[in-house]
Structure 1
């Protein structure tokens, strides 16, 4: 079995069997490609069925010189998944990464913005430009609904159920969820649709896409990152933020106002409550309030 053949089969498995998004598949594939490049660079002629624990350990030793512990851990996890697939398909009898431990890394807590910082960023948007109304509507949606940037750029007009107070979001693995949307966010989306989007020359295939660029096509994830970065620089914000920071802030502010973790999990689209629990670590004061409010010996 050749590496490229194995990688192609693995990508199909991730898409069809596991239902992962293109971004996730690309990330998993990138880890395998790093190993393939290493083998080619060092003239190591060995296929994915025969490669052993020793060759893998040498590869990890080499990459450890170039990337940090978190990146090493991700690559090891990606390769472990790839070889688990080969074992599952009976190409191999064992996983060469079974006995390889990932480097210990501290749990990275997400950066968040205060309500005042979010207001300052949104106020800094230049509404005299056509894209200003769009950018305001996008950031209000990111923060107001806790969306991932990929969910934002893929949002459709047909996903808006304003009369019911919800939007339909397609998340990781094409899993759909309904997220509440408050009146203020609805208002900014409607302003953008009525005064900006209606006057664009929309390209074929993008008629239902909510947020469009000046050429009438879907915005890229990179463009949203650029918009957020430029606004942060404009107000002199010292924190390093991204579109995801608005999602983290959404969850943290809900928790601070005594929302329960299960509700936050559903709105964020987390498969496991364990992922959502990271926000308890961001705001430990929530735990104190819970005990003070509900414990009989308060």
Structure 2
């Protein structure tokens, strides 16, 4: 996490992105996060039945969202509601009913009546609802190795109008290493949730482990959510949440969701898509040897003494 105040953060940002971000304290947020909602998010009335999927961007968020819905609700025949409509994106104003001139944070009609309520968020820990540590909602943090997460987020910034433009990979990586990308410092996110991994209502799960053994991961998540699955249900979920099947499913692939499909900076004819590759090790196509070595040293310093490690291929 960058050790500086709001003004110092702005000075370190590339000039061309300053108009498309919000700086809260020393954390950079996407421009779609409304400053007037931040305190309301902190004071959100959390229920013990809520489920939160929390990630640094492009770390398997949609994958986990689809898995959780399948486990909790099963396959609903005739259900044509897009996956994203089943979840409340905590910091996105699309889910907020702004009924107050002061910007009161109130969930939109219908969002507050579901049970369990399903939340997804990329907010850094200090901006999350206070009651996450006071009550016992289920909190799932998906961690992805920082090199692949960085590469995937770089591509996402290239295509999504809601995110800033970077001059290139070198500039983007420099901002990552300073902890100044939208949604905050990767290390702050991951170390915080790793330190909470032994709490009974927190599940810390790695993207790479999900790729290595999807069936075991589905079982782990279902047990965490206290949902029993038959062998048939387990087989169906494993099939439904594969990368290729999610990409082909118009009710899951964000490319097909209204708003996102028209929110790309470039045409999908250029093969730019929300669900891009979904692999481990793509970072090797982007990091130079020197960049990789410097990044490894930064990671060693940041993660020293935590016991947190990752698979990179």
TM-score, normalising length from structure 2?
A: 0.23
Look at both structures and tell me which one has the larger radius of gyration over its CA atoms: 1
Higher relative contact order (CA 8 A, sep 6+): 2
* Larger helix proportion of the pair: 1
TM-score, normalising length from structure 1?
A: 0.24
